[in-house]
Amino acid sequence: MHRNVVGYTTLFATADLIQQSIMGTALDKGTVHKLDEVGRDTSKTFNEGFTEAETDVLKLYNTDISDTEGNKKDFEEKETLAPVQHVSQLHGIDWTQTARVALVGFCFHANFNYHWLRGLERIFPGGGTKRVSLKVFLDQLIAAPTTISAFYIGLSTLEGAGDPFEDWRNKFWTSYKTGVVYWSTMQAVNFSLVPPVARTVYVGGVALAWTVFLCHFRQQRSNSLS
């Protein structure tokens, strides 16, 4: 039981780290630079947070340009012809976010999945097409919406969101429909081929990819609003 809890906590933390490290490496800082025909910046920065090196580069865009004889030249800015340049930067790991995801896995998902799988097998023991189909059906009817809801509502609550149900309302049905396809297949294999003693471990491994998806899907909304 204790190994199960620790395993799920590690699983959720790892999933969030994968999402941040691989699937969300570059974030636009929200600064759009319009350059004139000679490369000068004709727009203003509306987000802070640039490094000193980036600030120096941006200052160069605003300097006067001199010809070979040292005479300053004036160039008419043509905004309609100006290309747009986005300044992006690799971001670091948000360990606070990872800790929140791990806490949700620790407090709810580990214990729920452990007792759910044991109870399901106790009530409907054995394999066979009918038994496996029934357990997969009940898993998607009860466990899937419960765990998805706990993920979204739990994280929003830990973040102190004004409306902890907002993410759940916006993301639940898409997540659930995706999960039905993914988990129905994985649980059919689980209930028919994996011994009961190893089913929690199996679900934990399968859940890694699923949790990466949930973390990434949820973060997409956060980035779009930031």
**pLDDT for residue 156:** 94
Q: Say whether pLDDT at 10 is over 60.
A: yes
Nearest to 151 by CA among 6, 18, 11: 11
209 vs 86, more confident:
209
**pLDDT for residue 154:** 95
Lowest mean pLDDT among 27-31, 127-131, 208-212, 216-220: 27-31
Cα–Cα dist 203/153, whole Å: 22
**pLDDT for residue 184:** 93
Cα–Cα dist 134/124, whole Å: 8
Cα–Cα dist 134/57, whole Å: 63
**pLDDT for residue 52:** 55
**pLDDT for residue 56:** 54
- 127-149: pLDDT as tens digits: 888 999 999 999 999 999 999 99
Domains of the chain, residue spans:
2-24+94-225, 26-90
Q: Are 89 and 26 in contact (CB under 8 A)?
A: yes
Distance in Å from the first CA to the final CA of the chain? 40
Please give the share of the chain, as a percent, with pLDDT higher than 90.
Answer: 39
Q: Say whether pLDDT at 25 is over 50.
A: no
**pLDDT for residue 200:** 73
pTM of the model: 0.66
- 145-199: pLDDT as tens digits: 999 999 999 999 999 999 999 999 999 999 999 999 999 999 999 888 988 888 8
Region of 49 on the Ramachandran plot (φ > 0 left; ψ -120 to 50 alpha; else beta): left
Which residues make Cβ contacts (< 8 Å) with residue 54, sequence separation at least 6? 87, 89
